[in-house]
Structure 1
Amino acid sequence: MTQFHPPRLLRNAHLQSILASTRLRKLRIGRRARLLQAASREVLVECRDGTKLLGEYAEQENDSRGLVVLIHGWEGSSKSTYLLSAGSALYQAGYSVFRLNQRDHGPSHHLNEELFNSTRLSDVLGALEWIQKAFPHQRNYLAGFSLGGNFSLRVAANLKELPISLDQVVAVCPVLNPVNTMEALDKGWWVYEKYFVRKWKRSLKTKLQHYPELGYEQDLLTLRSLREMNHFFVPRFTQFKDAQTYLLAYAIIGDALSHLQAPCHIIAAEDDPICGAEDLPNLAKHPNLTIETTAHGGHCGYVSNFRLDSWIDQRLLDLFNQN
């Protein structure tokens, strides 16, 4: 166990999970976030395979301590509160920061006709290759939250011969076994599923505004749950025959992390109601992988006090400063 000990009244897992992304917390980090956003410029990332993604890049005016690429979770964006919070802390500490939007996240639905799905690792690999070529730094870091953490770890396991340099990868509350994550959303507190259903539907409707030929408008009206949505979209818009096969395709349990090619650090909360820590023992053992667990924190919460400060922001700094 490590030293994340929030006040007793902040130890509830659901409270932690919700507080991290509230408008109240966004107001709390407002000044720091404004500094980051003022220093950031929108960047169009053009991958080798033709995929286009959007990001926001804040470069240090003087000597940079390194480039940190941050990846949001599912239905988040470069403007998600937790990404602005972490990015602000890193930027103020002297790092250049690139906040990457995944396909169909943020204002990027118009860039690619094919829908986002969680197996599209080539998007992130291609983006990292482009980013590091466009903005070269001596030291390079990658950090992802939730599904972004899952992508970050898969990147480290699939670098192969790509010209991508990573000195440290950090995954905060990563999706480990998507089958169990979907089960937790299906059978857990209804607030989480309704939240993701609403955001996913909104994203899919935005996509249709740019690509009406995708043709799922009427079907979308009848879908009420994540399970129903997966059963409809997976066989029609991915290469997988069913939802179960699709979910297992981006799981990182078993041998998925057996070929890590960069130092990786997982931070996971034992009370995470969405990406449960019970799958941590099922990860491949590897000298490049360290796992840090905390008793509290919820899902990407880690709110350390009543000022709504983030313990994760400081922990990222600690980890990156070691390199």
Structure 2
Amino acid sequence: MSSAGAVAGFRPNPLLAPQLIQTVLATKRPVRGRFAGHDHAMHRASVQHLLDGGVADGDPVQLTGLYARQPDERASRGLVVLIHGWEGSHDSAYLYSMASKVYAAGWNVFRLNLRDHAGTHALNPRLFHSARIDEVLHGVRAARQIDGGSDRPLAVIGFSLGGNFALRVGLLGPAAGITPQLSIGISPSIDPGATLRAIDDGPAVFKRYFLDKWRKTLAAKAAAWPGRHDFTALASLGSFVEITRRFVAEHTEFACLEDYLARYTLTPPMLMGAASPLAIVTAQDDTVIPFADFDGLGARGSVIAFDAPRRGGHCGFIENLALESWAEKRVVEWLSRL
């Protein structure tokens, strides 16, 4: 269940091994200052950009992101675009930490924010949903233009739902003129229907967490566009499956939940037959992303690496009491081969 490499397999400190601890540390561990001068160098170099996300539903789309260029541009290894998870942002601990590690390894980094994330609810009148891959492809293209063009390697890294988006960039990007040398999914949600059911059936603390996040983002969207959106019917629902079903029916172009989920469901055969190279890290104890979703997947075809350690939680992979991420080391190893 793992790819060969110089970085040893994931063996967390026993105190950090439980799934809940791993998952909480993914978003709550302190990350600023972890990489000494490198971390602060990325932070100082980061410049916010407003991106052209194309047109969707007849409206021009705007996205945001932060770009950090290497001090010596001639020494840059290329560009890495990072995509956060659902209700995350460019500043989420797991993404900021990965970006710092990649920047320290000599890459320019662009931390891309999805629509309605990082406080951008007022930028676009229509709501975010997970099938909006076209605007993410536009965002990656815009990030590459900011970086100076397409003559150097491009890699895309995403976490959870962002991992699904990153893998879709690898799948669909080549047809749109965007061909990453590697697209990496960390704990990617490849079967979103299974993810919704796992949240509903899993630990109550996770269900409350995700429902609270959903309600807050709906409230922020309604406040940003007074009189345009009414989410009253959604606020009282207590099932993640049912709130998504109602949301799809009332606030998207899809006829039903099943049509919506099918638009961004990724199967192992699809991944292994992708148009550009992919790599995946997921944990077998992840209660948000069922490990059964990956049945039949291996480091074959376009999937050049597939690591599935027994522990790691959701986007965790914290290996020691210094709270260092094993997944970051693995990603840097893969990028070094490009």
Tell me which interval the TM-score lies in, with the shorter structure as reference length: over 0.9
Aligned partner (choices 114, 128, 141) of residue 102 of structure 1: 114
1:248 to 254, 262, 270: 262
d(CA) in 1 for partners of 2:87, 2:39: 20
Structure 1 residue 220 displacement after superposition: 4.2
Relative to structure 1, the CA distance from residue 239 to residue 75 in structure 2 (aligned partners, 3 Å threshold; closer, same or farther) is: same
How many angstroms apart in 1 are the aligned matches of 2:228 and 2:273? 37
What is the rounded CA distance, in whole Å, between the counterparts of 1:117 and 1:284 in structure 2? 29
* Contact 1:28–1:307 (CA under 8 A) maintained in structure 2: no
Does 2:279 match 1:274? no
Please show how residues 80-119 of structure 1 align to structure 2 within 5 Å.
Answer: 80-119=92-131
Structure 2-normalised TM-score?
0.89
Q: Corresponding residue for 1:175?
A: 189
Tell me whether 143-152 or 127-136 shows the greater mean CA deviation.
127-136
Moved more, 223-232 or 137-146: 223-232
Q: CA deviation at 1:204?
A: 1.4
281-290 or 35-44: bigger deviation: 281-290
Indicate the larger mover: 80-89 or 214-223.
214-223
Partner of residue 299, structure 1: 314
Is 2:243 the partner of 1:229? yes
2:215 and 2:235 in contact (8 A); partners too:
no
The separation in 2 between residues aligned to 1:188 and 1:82, in whole angstroms, is: 22
Partner of 1:313: 328
Query: Which residue of 2 is the match for residue 61 of structure 1?
Result: 71
Paired with 2:54 and 2:193, the residues of 1 have a C-alpha distance of 31
Q: Which runs of 5 or more residues in structure 1 are unaligned?
A: none
Aligned-partner SS, 2:173 = coil
1:26 counterpart SS class: coil
- Which residue is 2:5 aligned to? none
Matching residue's letter, 1:121: I
Question: 1:44 corresponds to which residue?
Answer: 50
Mapping 1:138-287, distance limit 5 Å = 138-253=152-267, 255-257=269-271, 259-282=273-296, 287=301
Deviation at 1:158, TM superposition (A): 1.1
Question: Take 1:278 and 1:97, find their aligned partners in 2: how far apart are those partners?
Answer: 32
Assess, with a 3 A threshold, how the Cα gap between structure 1 residues 103 and 5 changes in structure 2: closer, same or farther.
same
Query: 3-state SS of the aligned residue for 1:212?
Result: coil
Corresponding letter in the other structure for 2:334: L
- Write the deviation string for residues 73-113 of structure 1: whole angstroms up to 9, x where unpaired: 11111110001100011111211000000000102111111
Displaced runs of 4 or more, over 4 A: 30-33, 282-286
For 1:72, which of 84, 91, 94 is the aligned residue? 84
How far does residue 283 in structure 1 lie from its aligned partner after superposition? 5.1
Instruction: Give me the identity figure in percent.
Output: 34
1:178-236 Cα shifts (integer Å, max 9, x gaps): 11111110011011111111112111111112212333143344233323321221111
30-39 vs 88-97, greater mean Cα deviation: 30-39
Q: Could you state the TM-score of these two structures normalised by the residue count of structure 1?
A: 0.93
SS at match of 1:16: helix
CA distance in 2, matches of 1:197, 1:76: 14
For structure 1, which segment, 296-305 or 155-164, has the greater mean C-alpha deviation from structure 2 after superposition?
A: 155-164
State how many pairs are aligned: 322
**Counterpart Cα distance in 1 of 2:231 and 2:173:** 38
The alpha-carbon deviation at position 286 of structure 1 amounts to 5.5
- 1:171–1:265 Cα contact (<8 Å) kept: yes
Instruction: Determine the structure 1 residue equivalent to 2:24.
Output: 18
Which AA in structure 1 matches 2:88? G
**Secondary structure of residue in 2 paired with 1:132:** helix
- Judged with a 3 Å threshold, the aligned counterparts in structure 2 of structure 1 residues 291 and 133 are, in CA distance, closer, same or farther, namely same
Distance 1:94 1:258 in 2: 29
Contact 1:158 1:259 in 2 (8 A): no
Aligned-partner Cα distance in 1 for 2:13–2:269: 38
Amino acid at match of 1:46: D
Unaligned runs of 5+ in 2: 3-8
In structure 1, give the amino acid aligned to 2:317: Y
Q: What letter is aligned with 2:333?
A: D
Distance in 1, matches of 2:125 and 2:156, equals 27
